[in-house]
Amino acid sequence: MSNYILKYSRDERVKYISHLDFVRLFHRAVRRSDINFVFSQGFNPHPVMTVAQPLSVGVTSDCEYMKVGFDGDYSEDELVSALNAVMPPGYKILAARIAEGREIDLTKLDRAVYTVELEYEGVADTGSLMQRDELIVMKKSKSGVKESDIRPYIYSLETLHDDGKILTLRMCLASGGAYNLKPRSVADAMEKYSDNFKAGFMNVHRNSIMCVDKEPF
Amino acid sequence: MITNRDKILSAVTKPTRYTGGELNCVMKDPSSVDVRFAFCFADTYEIAMSHLGLKILYHTLNERSDTYCERVFAPWTDMEEEMKKYGMRLFALETGDEVTHFDMMGFTLQYELCYSNIVNMLNLADIPVRSRDRDETYPIICGGGPCAYNAEPVADIFDFFMMGEGEEIIHEVVDEYVKWKKSGKTNKRDYLKSIARIEGVYVPSFYDVEYNGDGTVKSVTPNDPNAKSKIRKRVMKDFDGAYTPETIIVPFGEVVHDRVMLEVMRGCLRGCRFCQAGYIYRPLRERTPQRLLSVADKLLKCSGYDEISLSSLSTSDFKGLRELTDGLLEITEEKKIGLSLPSLRIDNFSLELMEKVQKVRKTGITFAPEAGTQRLRDVINKNINEDDILKSTDMLFRGGWTNVKLYFMIGLPTETMDDVRGIAELAQKVLDVYFAIPKEERAKQINITVSTSSFVPKPFTAFQWAKQDTRDMLIEKQNELKSAIKSRRIRYNWHDNKTSYLEGVFARGDRRLCDVIIKAVENGCKFDGWGEHFDFYTWMKTFDELGIDPDFYTARERSYDETLPWDHIDTGVTKKFLINENEKAKKAQTTPNCREKCSGCGASSFGSGVCYE
């Protein structure tokens, strides 16, 4: 048996699938293939898998990672093609790496790059936002909704496109266990720190997850 | 790109109910087909996707290159609000296209309480609700399923109904549709005429209903030369060879029956007198274990499901059960797949089987004695006696099971308070069985749950003439039962009698109820099967508004001479047989099951199944 890290994407077609539903979906996909899972021991055996940073409902992504135990030695390419043959349309396994003997630690992933389309009214000024020393917004955490200074966790924020109604932004934000910042909080800050900006609906796409400035693979 | 679809889906619970795109759903180019068919189920995604009939008809229709069958379900109320906000109409899951100008819409009528949702769905689609208000630019709307046997309460809505099993008839009506469409599709009546002669097709607008002064039906008369005087249900004579899908859509979210369902038989040989399914699906026909094993293997492989369940009305009566389960266990043990075996009688064989399939956890076991005393069980011809139950529970308790559920009905014909108290006594006896077993030989912490539902007389059963208990009577019986249950280890759940009442009205209703249903939806009724949405007061107000007394349909004992609103439908089981069964019920005489002795119900005229074993 070996542990593998899989990198995969999900597109528009499957972006409303919740994390728990994805776990079940992946179990079923593996059952459809000839690959064997490693099952957990105990009362209710279930396949062993960990998703690095579960994606919010409605978000598309090019860069999801999960760790899975498979019973058998499969080559990395073999695994990618076997899994792609059984995943529902909308998911794509991009690459696989054997976890043993390599320096891949998914818990060290600490930031993510997003492309965000944001409907707005008023005037958008991301430049002046980034010049501020602190950006305090209400933010949900494990212990409830609290004020938090999100400025240190916005590593970059740039405007890719602005048609007066929809703003296309590229942002690099802290993610993971230590501090997790969602693009919605950045929009909240834009609203709070300008006199004339109202944020509306947003579409989010995750471009990459990194450890400092490097993708795992 | 930001779309309204995203805005809508981001604002609702369980968005994957509406996205489609599940594994094994069928994708086609709609411009390449003649017929766009919407298979409609007037309830939520989770209920609809658990329905076996949908799976069969969806896939068999999609095997046609000239037809694209898509699924259309009732949007939950939050989705309905969002759709209205953005001007979005009712849409099909596969393409997301609105159904307003599809070719055909087929609703499966699984329970009476979905009628308001059918009307609501048509409203959301911007389709006129009444058949007479729809011209040929709108879809032809058809219905099938158990409630179609007396679909008079929704007769004004539908263009036609299909009686009985849909596997073949659905193709025949689609074939005619294709012809009609290619001939220019000018007059909807032409299409209806062309299908009215097909066995099993019922075009309600081709029949005039007259009423007597007392409100009962005087006559149902064909008004078109193509309309048959009796509409006979369709039956798959060769059930083993009949179409069954070898693929299955795998939902993203959890649905009610989230597993492979293997239909081992159709029909039932028991003849319980209250059970509509037991009569309308006659005769009992089985599939061979070989066919079932091959289908099971394909379904498990293409879905990745980790559970398979046998589906039938009474699995213990399946002759090939041992061969089938032996074969299935070979597949399931290796692949760690769960095998669930509902509607199984408890005996040594089934207990041994349950030991095999439930190696680790011992979940609850359900018994359905249906009535509390032997007299009443004889009345309803429920072939299970106290001894069976006590012996089985003894085996179960010794085998480690501790959760026992007992299902009963209250309000059955001839029921007295003694019968009601008999329910409590039977539950107490089950508890006594547990305590009679030495402590070291039984599992800890016994739980007995008694559930009662309220009996609703259904068409085409021995009790189709019976009076339904009033709500007050049912409440009195529930209270009697509550006080008769002494032990705190016995829990009692009862079913709401308001929904049973409405179900009773529609089950044996006539065409005059159509206006009530349409009006009730205008008044806000929908999702009547859901406690949080069921609005009894509005229903009663609507009956009142239209001057219709709902008690007329429930509170009266009908005479054998009365023309019943569904008398022009022929299920194969004769009225004479049902009268005889009803008379035997009054005398608490039982009728043997079909394998013991044929009682001449009439279903042998279909030339198949248990009648010819």
Q: Which residues of A touch B304 (CB under 8 A)?
A: 27-32, 86
Residue B295's φ and ψ, nearest 5 degrees, are: -65, -45
Of all residues in chain A, the one with the smallest CA distance to B307 is: A28
Least confident of A197-206, B278-287, B386-395: B386-395
* Helix, coil or strand: residue B78: helix
Task: Give the tens place of pLDDT for each residue, B328-346.
Answer: 999 888 888 888 887 777 7
Kindly indicate whether the ipTM for this predicted assembly is greater than 0.90, answering yes or no.
yes
Q: How many percent of chain A have pLDDT more than 70?
A: 97
Write a three-state SS string for A163-183. CCCEEEEEEEEECCCCCCCCH
Surface of B (10-39) touching A: CB under 8 A: 10, 15-16, 19, 21-23
Q: Do B1 and A29 touch (CB under 8 A)?
A: no
Q: DSSP string covering A59-90, please?
A: -EEEEEEEEEEESS---HHHHHHHHHTTSPTT
Q: For residue B546, what are its two tokens? A: 């239209």
Give residue B407's identity as a one-letter amino acid code. Answer: Y
* Helix, coil or strand: residue B222: strand
Across the interface, which of A16, A32, A39 has its CB nearest the CB of B304? A32
What's the CA gap between B58 and B39, in Å, rounded? 7
| Interhelix angle B417-436/B471-484, nearest 10 degrees | 30
Task: Look at strands A197-210 and B338-340 and give their pairing.
Answer: unpaired
Q: Do B252 and A25 touch (CB under 8 A)?
A: yes
Q: For residue B438, what are its two tokens? A: 């030495």
Q: Do A90 and B2 touch (CB under 8 A)?
A: no
What's the CA gap between B91 and B88, in Å, rounded? 8
Across the interface, which of A30, A32, A201 has its CB nearest the CB of B301? A32
Residue B184 CB: number of other CB atoms within 10 A? 9
Q: Which residues of B touch A14 (CB under 8 A)?
A: 19, 21, 252
Task: Give the tens place of pLDDT for each residue, B215-263.
Answer: 999 999 999 999 999 999 999 999 999 999 999 999 999 999 999 999 9
Tell whether A30 lies on the interface with B, counting CB pairs under 8 A.
Answer: yes
pLDDT at A102: 63
CA nearest A10: which of B21, B12, B91?
B21
For residue B87, what are the CA distances in angstroms to B16, B97, B525? 20, 13, 21
Looking at chain B, the domain(s) classified CATH 3.30.750.210 span: 236-358
* Helix, coil or strand: residue B402: coil
Q: HSE of A84 in the Cβ direction (CA atoms, 13 Å)?
A: 14
Q: For residue A93, what are its two tokens? A: 């396994």
Q: Do A39 and B336 touch (CB under 8 A)?
A: yes
Q: Do A17 and B16 touch (CB under 8 A)?
A: yes
CA nearest A91: which of A176, A22, A177?
A22
Contact at 8 Å (CB) between B203 and B56? no
Contact at 8 Å (CB) between A160 and A170? yes
Q: Where are the beta strands (DSSP E) in A11-52?
A: 49-51
- Tell me the average pLDDT of chain B: 95
| Pick among B19, B260, B332 to test the A interface (most A CBs inside 10 A) | B19
Is residue B360 predicted with pLDDT exceeding 60? no
pLDDT at A101: 64
- Tell me the average pLDDT of chain A: 92
Could you state, in order of their start, the residue ranges of all structural domains in chain A?
2-107, 110-210
CATH classification code of A2-107: 3.30.70.580
CATH class of B236-358: alpha beta
Tell whether B417 lies on the interface with A, counting CB pairs under 8 A.
Answer: no
Q: Tell me how close the Cα of A45 comes to any Cα of chain B, in angstroms.
A: 9
**Which pTM does this prediction carry?**
0.95
Across the interface, which of A27, A166, A203 has its CB nearest the CB of B6? A203
| Pick among B4, B6, B22, B46 to test the A interface (most A CBs inside 10 A) | B6
Task: Give the tens place of pLDDT for each residue, B113-162.
Answer: 999 999 999 999 999 999 999 999 999 999 999 999 999 999 999 999 99
Q: Which residues of A touch B19 (CB under 8 A)?
A: 13-14, 16
* Helix, coil or strand: residue A114: strand
Across the interface, which of B2, B10, B253 has its CB nearest the CB of A166? B2
Contact at 8 Å (CB) between A168 and A116? yes
Q: Tell me how close the Cα of B4 comes to any Cα of chain A, in angstroms.
A: 10
Q: Tell me how close the Cα of A47 comes to any Cα of chain B, in angstroms.
A: 11
Q: HSE of A151 in the Cβ direction (CA atoms, 13 Å)?
A: 13
Surface of A (61-80) touching B: CB under 8 A: none
How many interface pairs between A and B have CB atoms less than 8 angstroms apart? Answer: 72
Task: Give the tens place of pLDDT for each residue, B414-463.
Answer: 999 999 999 999 999 999 999 999 998 888 888 999 999 999 999 999 99
Tell whether B333 lies on the interface with A, counting CB pairs under 8 A.
Answer: no
Q: Do B361 and A16 touch (CB under 8 A)?
A: no
Looking at CATH, the fold of the domain delimited by A110-210 is given as Alpha-Beta Plaits (3.30.70)
Across the interface, which of B16, B250, B305 has its CB nearest the CB of A16? B16
Q: Tell me how close the Cα of B124 comes to any Cα of chain A, in angstroms.
A: 23
Q: Which residues of B touch A163 (CB under 8 A)?
A: none
Looking at chain B, the domain(s) classified CATH 3.40.50.280 span: 4-232
Of all residues in chain A, the one with the smallest CA distance to B258 is: A24
pLDDT at B350: 78
Q: For residue A83, what are its two tokens? A: 């899994």
CA nearest B146: which of B380, B461, B553?
B461
Bridge partners (DSSP) of residue B45 are none
Q: Which residues of B touch A86 (CB under 8 A)?
A: 304
Q: Do B16 and A21 touch (CB under 8 A)?
A: yes
The strand order across the sheet containing B447-454 reads B365-370, B403-410, B447-454, B490-494
CATH H-level superfamily of B4-232: Cobalamin-binding domain (3.40.50.280)
Of all residues in chain A, the one with the smallest CA distance to B20 is: A13
The enclosing H or E element of B475 equals helix B471-484
